[in-house]
Amino acid sequence: MGACDFETCGFLLLLNTQREREREIDMASFLWSLCLSFLFLVSGARSAQPKKPVDVQFSKNYVPTWAFDHIKYFNGGAEAQLILDKYTGTGFQSKGSYLFGHFSMHIKMVAGDSAGVVTAFYLSSQNSEHDEIDFEFLGNRTGQPYILQTNVFTGGKGNREQRIYLWFDPTKAYHTYSVLWNMYQIAFFVDDVPIRVFKNSKDIGVKFPFDQPMKIYSSLWNADDLATRGGLEKTDWSKAPFVASYKGFHIDGCEASVNAKFCETQGKRWWDQKAFQDLDAAQYKRLKWVRQKYTIYNYCTDRVRFPNTPVECKRDHDI
């Protein structure tokens, strides 16, 4: 995660009249959804929305990985809470490894003063030149908006950070964060809104995750050396314990051994079909909305770190 100096200005701009802003955003989102629904009815356009997640119990797809006593289960395992205190955080991982699929989680973020705290939901392979697909939620001081950072590692290379402010308060209720991964693209969604796409650009020299199965992980941990304003804001342990809540635990993927290079059903599953090989026009409009209104950092436009624009950025609709 690169340290950047944009946070302070971003906070000053977006914290002004926060309550009014949230009401305006909620109305804008509602009107936008109505508009898209109307367009689909009129044009008969086929939506490329992933299949609706199927909510299951934690134990069906996941196991705890460390600090087992810092994970609490509710409603027969349909919900789980991760707890961070001054002694330890905790985390869990999927039972299986997967080559492509749709992976989704409902998460309610740490409420109140969460500066220095990171809640992570990501996919990662187990090899040295690993592939990784990241959601990282960077906590903040009370009243300041959460930052969602995404990143993509291919062949061990990352440095593709993008950061957005969420258009809602992620601590008030559960919201859905999901990844659609196939041979053609990796698409990140927040409540069905695409916030990022990483296209397969092997033809122009950019590695793409296609032959290393990944497990799904989540963790809650102290990262006050980098999480909030580049590490300037430290964790206030008087506010501990910090709690992130989870439900859903949806996995719809092609399960494979860690050393597999392909799956038996590869090319035959719903996410391989043409409708999911790219975002549709309406989704690209929503992605543009996120880019214009909520993006606060994009590696594609960082000329200090990347004097030459990374070649995949134009294909990914990031410039």
Q: Are 78 and 228 in contact (CB under 8 A)?
A: no
Give me the numbers of helices (H) and strands (E) for the chain, helices first please.
Answer: 5, 15
3-state secondary structure of 299: helix
Angle (CA) 33-39-40 rounded to 5° is: 90
Marked catalytic residue, from 7, 22, 129, 132:
132
DSSP-derived letter for residue 274 is: G
CA distances in angstroms from 99 to 117, 124, 268, listed in the order given: 30, 11, 13
Q: Are 39 and 282 in contact (CB under 8 A)?
A: yes
Q: Are 127 and 141 in contact (CB under 8 A)?
A: no
Place of tokens 């990352």: 158
Q: Are 189 and 164 in contact (CB under 8 A)?
A: no
Question: Is residue 132 flagged as an active site residue?
Answer: yes
Q: How far apart are CA 260 and CA 213, in angstroms?
A: 7
Residue type, 197: V
Marked catalytic residue, from 136, 161, 233, 312:
136
Q: How far apart are CA 30 and CA 7, in angstroms?
A: 28
Q: How far apart are CA 69 and CA 144, in angstroms?
A: 30
Q: How far apart are CA 245 and CA 144, in angstroms?
A: 20
Question: Is residue 136 flagged as an active site residue?
Answer: yes
Burial of 80 (0-12, 13-18, 19+ CB in 10 A): buried
Provide the annotated active-site residues.
Answer: 132, 136
